[in-house]
Chain A
Amino acid sequence: MEQLATPLLNGVIYGLLLFMVSAGLTLIFGMMGILNFAHASFYMLGAYFAYALQDVFGFWPAIIVSPLLVGVVGILVERYILRRVHRFGHAHELLITFGLSFIIVELVKLFFGNYPVNYRVPASLDFAAFTMGSLDYPAYRLFMGIVAIGMFVAIYLLLSRTRVGIVVRSAIHRPKMAEALGHNVPRVFMGVFGVGAAMAGLAGAVAGAFYTTSPNMALELGVLVFVVVVIGGLGSLEGAMLASLLIGIVTSVAVGIDASLADFMALFGAGDLAREIGGILVLKVSSLAASLPFALMLLVLLVRPSGLMGDKE
């Protein structure tokens, strides 16, 4: 049981990190129909801003100011770039976010260099929370999990219990009607985009210290975030949480499984046959750990394309 506990806990925390980044993406998609390729770049920007501010303000102010800065960047992007291309259609919006992701990565490389930077966990959080088996469990991981859960609760309450949230949700479902009722829908869009970007920035500020902060951060996380959003359902916050946890746990647990499809077939006596055929059948699940999310995504898209918790088309 203990063997399973650590991967499970790790998977949950990793899933929560994925949630922090994908929450913004799914909200933006649900509202504006834009698949924002630059979202993972906001994650990276959050980490880099926090690194730059850490020396000036210290760790705690840095992780508060950094998401705000990223939110401002998000608002500027929406107001001056996305709004312009909105009338040209979805493809153009998508492509512009793609071009933006390039620009952001290159700018980061310009100012901070190509190598990973020294953004580290502060001494106040750099201890072991408890031991599991023979290994320590770092407190910072729990911190990341707490921040993620806090973010989920805050956004959920904001959307469901406050007036602003009601306006936002109505703008998602019936933008024209909301506009007819007198709400400034473009401003709502801008706000949602900014908040989504700020959430990704917070994720970056918090996670960048634990994992590495390098110009390749956005690439490494980028596609996985899409997978989460698709599996969870485009536009659904609960779906994003569920899908992130699922992906986090699956990748974490899969690393420990050294069996392959051939071993499974051995249960039916076809083991040797499978091994002779070779190819995919003898690949170990552990080596494929990072590819499993894509297989899951394909499965979901074919069986239930609106995602686990999305609205049925």
Chain B
Amino acid sequence: MKVRMVLLAAGVCVLAAAPLLLSDGLVNAAISMLIAALFACAYNLLCGQAGMLSFGHSAYFGVGAFATIHAMNAVDGAGLLPTPLMPLAGALGGLLFGFAAGWFSTQRTGAYFAMITLAIAELLHAIAPQLKGVFGGEAGISSMRMPAWGWDFGSTTEVYYLTLAWVLASLAGLYLLTRTPLGRLALGIRENSHRLRFLGYEVHRVSVLIFALSGMFSGIAGSLQVLSNESANYVMFDTSLSAAVVLNTYIGGVHAFLGPALGAALVTFFGYAVSDLTQSWLLYQGVLFVLVIMFMPTGLAGLLDLACGSARRYGARAVAPAAGLYVLAGGAYAAALVFLTELLQRLFSQDYRSLAQAAGAGHWPPVRMFGHDWTPLGTWTWVAPAALIVAGWLCWRAATAVVRRLQEAAPAMPAGAAGMASPGRTA
């Protein structure tokens, strides 16, 4: 417990010190990561804790965003609330719309529930561009942050601290919620709603409440995005945003409280960092998703749990070589994948094909990649990725051998250590 508090405090300190250490561009990325983390945790309230998989959560994010932008533009641009309190408008919007949508959606369960939430979001997405007064057409609505309480909110640093304050407060709120009876009831809904009904609870009412609270916190996330970008656009209602939050949550791990936050932060950063480096970054992201879901069903939080658990059982020094080998293997496979993808992308591109045509039949001009020229039929061009794949495979085998040796040496497995041998829990 103490260790957790210390780690938490350290984390908050690092976050607070970020603007002093990072460039403006990275501080901006950090703001996006914080917002994504909050959205994912808000979603997890509904999905991981109450077990209701919603596919249209972008609706509540978007409603919160538009509520905020209208609040910012109200009173001739002066704003309905002082800037630091603006997310309350988003919270209210998300809460009210969450109540309305939740009342309808929670009447069904399972796949039908998911479909209803999808339908609501899609309908909103389809109608929004038509209602120009409310949603501003495809250019969206823009606004400006007004100075308040002594700050002018013109610089990225101030926006960062505002975002950080709200995200920390909301996460604290969400965590405290898990400690209340309502939070426990949510777990009950996930585990066995029939039994809950027999115990006398109004399951529908509880579900609506949970839905509305999840909508409220999503609305806060939406409003923080609007404060950062000073504009709101109806593309926020797109299914890709709904899908992104589901993916972030599962990649992070639905069973740990901060799991979704971790997943969202990493995926956002990945998109931010890699999207400028290569055209095929969506392919890498897709492959990463599929691999994580296939091999790490409990998400990254589960993986961390596993690593810490193993370190505690076998001792860090024993586990370290295995962990290092796994990382090396992963790195080698990733490098091979990147190499092959970039090579194929260049070979099949329109420009290369016209260059090849111009060069004549059978003659393949070299391809420029990573600062080198590679000939398509040259040995190194194919030996390099092959070597990487072989190296990765060898490292993987070595790592599994080390783990197996450790497991054989200490056969009694304490309960709760989610090992490689046992399948993960169902979502």
Contact = CB atoms under 8 A, between A and B. Distances in A.
A301 B250 contact: no
A87 to B, nearest CB: 5
B243 interface: yes
Contact of B294 (A90, A96, A98): A96
A291 B104 contact: no
B126 A290 contact: yes
B290 A103 contact: yes
B130 interface: yes
Given A295-B123, A301-B119, A103 B426 contact: no
Nearest to A290: B126
Contacts of A112: 348
Contact of B350 (A98, A113, A297): A113
Which of A96, A288, A306 is the most central at the interface, judged by chain B CB atoms within 10 Å of its CB?
Answer: A96
Interface in A63-120: 81, 84-85, 87-92, 94-96, 98-100, 102-103, 105-107, 110-113, 115
Interface string A219-259: 00001001100100010000000000000000000000000
A88 B426 contact: yes
Interface string B87-129: 0000000000000000010011011101110111011001100
Which of B119, B283, B349, B427 is the most central at the interface, judged by chain A CB atoms within 10 Å of its CB?
Answer: B119
B289 interface: yes
Contact of B290 (A99, A230, A301): A99
A91 B289 contact: no
Contacts of B315: none
Given A223-B239, A280-B127, A102 B282 contact: yes
Given A95-B246, A305-B108, A297 B119 contact: yes
A230 B423 CA distance: 32
Contacts of B426: 87-89
A298 B120 contact: yes
A1 interface: no
B369 interface: no
Given A280-B127, A298-B119, A85 B285 contact: no
Contacts of A111: 344, 348
Interface in B258-290: 280, 282-283, 285-287, 289-290
A39 B397 CA distance: 35
Given A234-B111, A298-B120, A102 B285 contact: yes
Contacts of A290: 126
Contacts of B126: 288, 290-291, 294
**Overall SS of chain B's interface:** helix
Contacts of A278: 133
A291 B129 CA distance: 11
Contact of B427 (A90, A102, A302): A90
Contacts of A81: 290, 294
Interface string B148-166: 0000000000000000000
Contacts of A105: 282
B286 A100 contact: yes
A106 B341 CA distance: 10
In which size bucket is the chain A interface? 35 or more
A147 interface: no
A194 B131 CA distance: 43
Contact of A287 (B104, B130, B134, B282): B130
A41 to B, nearest CB: 11
A267 B112 CA distance: 37
B297 interface: yes
A103 B283 contact: yes
Nearest to B246: A95
Interface in B126-151: 126-127, 130-131, 133-134
B53 interface: yes
B246 to A, nearest CB: 7
Contact of A95 (B104, B116, B122, B247): B247
Contacts of A287: 130
A29 B114 CA distance: 14
17 contacts: A29-B111, A81-B290, A87-B423, A91-B250, A92-B293, A96-B290, A96-B294, A107-B283, A110-B341, A113-B349, A230-B119, A278-B133, A280-B130, A283-B130, A291-B126, A294-B122, A301-B116
3 closest Cβ contacts across the A-B interface? A102-B286, A291-B126, A99-B289
Given A98-B247, A105-B282, 17 more contacts: A29-B111, A88-B297, A89-B426, A98-B246, A99-B289, A102-B285, A107-B283, A110-B344, A111-B348, A230-B115, A280-B127, A291-B127, A294-B122, A294-B123, A301-B108, A301-B115, A302-B107
